[in-house]
């Protein structure tokens, strides 16, 4: 099997989505596929890579309905000013693995290279959660449905499995994670993200782009450097009366896109580029749907086993902060050093544009390893419906 390398990664600024108030979202008037196309163009311009070298494009999207249906990944390709003219020559696909869609796109690109099918690939992901809102609204419209046969399944609490907030409540209760722990974790995520932003760590990955109304979007909109434990602890539970999960310890609705270039070792030599990291292992697992947040730790554990590593050998972790309960559960389960987890903050502060998040996790992880001089890193995410997905990379 050939080696696959992560060469470079870029993303848009992540904006605060609001289906009922699109004017508050900087990307509110911009289609998600068009935004991904602009990120791809910016990434190719920065790397200086000839678009003719790109043989494969995998696109992650958690809700590929309405305008986020991309004709199997063709629309982002054709909307790209750099890839579009050669669109017929580049294979594409759109992947829905819910919150793991971006990592699934990265896995698809890496495996094409590892199998020797292609030499250069792009993995991308996008979500505009203002223009295509979360599930409840889409179920109400009839855009999303669930099988009648599953509604009476004794082994499945479908109403819980379909509500991510309630699954987070279940996870917190089962793992004994208290409200004050989750609030404290959220506060630290905002502090770390604000500090990383001030120190310029996001400047290399975050592109300055123009939206469809001509406005320049260059800053992440969800980071709250002025928040406090008092503010977070004063928020009411969102999903259950007397519950532990609030808007403050949950990731906000977010719009954004991200993309990464992957190459084989032969292609690195041919193009004369240095990679950020080598892909070591990918892992997918299934977990109890009603506690889908367990998937992040479970997938990371399986990836470690595949790589022949133990948790203490991982120098940096990116554990998706869909809810604060998820990384807290992973830290306990895998016995991690919290100082190695989400060192530049996570989705609680940056936001979670579902299809783009996995690419951001892996891309930021590679940059963290380069900055800190670490060797191995693991990015992992829980997945709606009861799954987990993880990747381990090695600094090149």
DSSP assigned state of 98? T
Compute the distance between CA of residue 257 and CA of residue 200 in angstroms, rounded to an integer. 20
Q: Other C-beta atoms within 10 Å of 217: how many?
A: 23
Place of tokens 């979360």: 134
H-assigned helices in 176-260: 179-198, 229-233
Using an 8 Å Cβ cutoff, are 14 and 256 in contact? yes
Using an 8 Å Cβ cutoff, are 325 and 196 in contact? no
Compute the distance between CA of residue 390 and CA of residue 378 in angstroms, rounded to an integer. 7
Active-site residue, selected from the candidate residues 190, 201, 329, 352: 352
99 catalytic per annotation: yes
Q: Please report the beta strands in 36-109, taking only residues with DSSP state E, as ranges in sequence order.
A: 56-60, 91-95
Using an 8 Å Cβ cutoff, are 317 and 323 in contact? no
DSSP assigned state of 23? G
Q: CB neighbours of 90 closer than 8 A, spacing ≥ 6?
A: 54, 55, 56, 57, 77, 83
CA-closest candidate to residue 253, choices 347, 170, 139, 376: 347
The DSSP annotation for 236-262 comes to PBSSSTT-S-BSTTBPPPEEEEEEEEE
Using an 8 Å Cβ cutoff, are 27 and 256 in contact? yes
Using an 8 Å Cβ cutoff, are 251 and 14 in contact? no
Tell how strand 376-383 and strand 387-395 pair up. Answer: antiparallel
90 catalytic per annotation: no
Q: Helix-strand-coil percent breakdown of the chain, rounded to 5?
A: 40, 20, 35
190 catalytic per annotation: no
Three-state DSSP class for residue 8: strand
Compute the distance between CA of residue 12 and CA of residue 14 in angstroms, rounded to an integer. 6
Active-site residue, selected from the candidate residues 90, 99, 201, 378: 99
Residues forming the active site: 99, 352, 382
């Amino acid at each position: 099997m050939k080696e696959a390398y992560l060469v470079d990664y870029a993303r848009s600024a992540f904006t605060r989505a609001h289906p009922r108030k699109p004017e508050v979202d900087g990307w509110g008037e911009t289609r998600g596929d068009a935004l991904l196309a602009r990120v791809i163009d910016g990434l190719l311009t920065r790397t200086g890579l000839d678009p003719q070298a790109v043989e494969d494009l995998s696109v992650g999207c958690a809700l590929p309905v309405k305008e986020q249906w991309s004709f199997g990944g063709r629309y982002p390709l054709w909307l790209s000013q750099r890839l579009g003219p050669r669109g017929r020559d580049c294979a594409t696909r759109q992947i829905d693995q819910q919150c793991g869609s971006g990592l699934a796109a990265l896995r698809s690109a890496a495996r094409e290279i590892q199998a020797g099918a292609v030499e250069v690939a792009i993995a991308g992901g996008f979500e505009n959660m203002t223009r295509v809102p979360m599930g409840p609204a889409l179920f109400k419209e009839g855009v999303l449905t669930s099988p009648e046969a599953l509604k009476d399944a004794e082994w499945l609490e479908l109403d819980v499995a379909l509500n991510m907030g309630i699954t987070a409540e279940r996870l917190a209760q089962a793992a004994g994670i208290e409200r004050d722990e989750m609030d404290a974790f959220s506060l630290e995520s905002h502090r770390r993200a604000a500090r990383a932003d001030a120190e310029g760590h996001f400047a290399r990955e975050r592109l300055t782009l123009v939206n469809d109304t001509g406005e320049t979007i260059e800053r992440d909109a969800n980071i709250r450097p002025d928040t406090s434990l008092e503010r977070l602890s004063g928020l009411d539970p969102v999903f259950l009366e007397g519950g532990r999960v609030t808007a403050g310890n949950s990731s906000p609705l977010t719009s954004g896109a991200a993309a990464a270039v992957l190459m084989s070792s032969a292609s690195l030599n041919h193009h004369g580029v240095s990679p950020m990291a080598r892909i070591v292992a990918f892992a997918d697992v299934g977990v109890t749907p009603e506690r889908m947040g367990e998937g992040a730790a479970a997938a990371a554990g399986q990836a470690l086993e595949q790589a022949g590593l133990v948790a203490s050998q991982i120098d940096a972790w990116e554990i998706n902060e869909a809810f604060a309960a998820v990384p807290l559960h992973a830290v306990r389960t895998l016995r991690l050093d919290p100082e190695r987890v989400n060192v530049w903050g996570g989705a609680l502060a940056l936001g979670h544009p579902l299809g783009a998040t996995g690419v951001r996790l892996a891309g930021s992880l590679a940059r963290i390893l380069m900055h800190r001089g670490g060797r191995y890193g693991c990015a992992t995410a829980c997945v709606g419906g009861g799954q987990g997905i993880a990747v381990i990379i090695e600094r090149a």
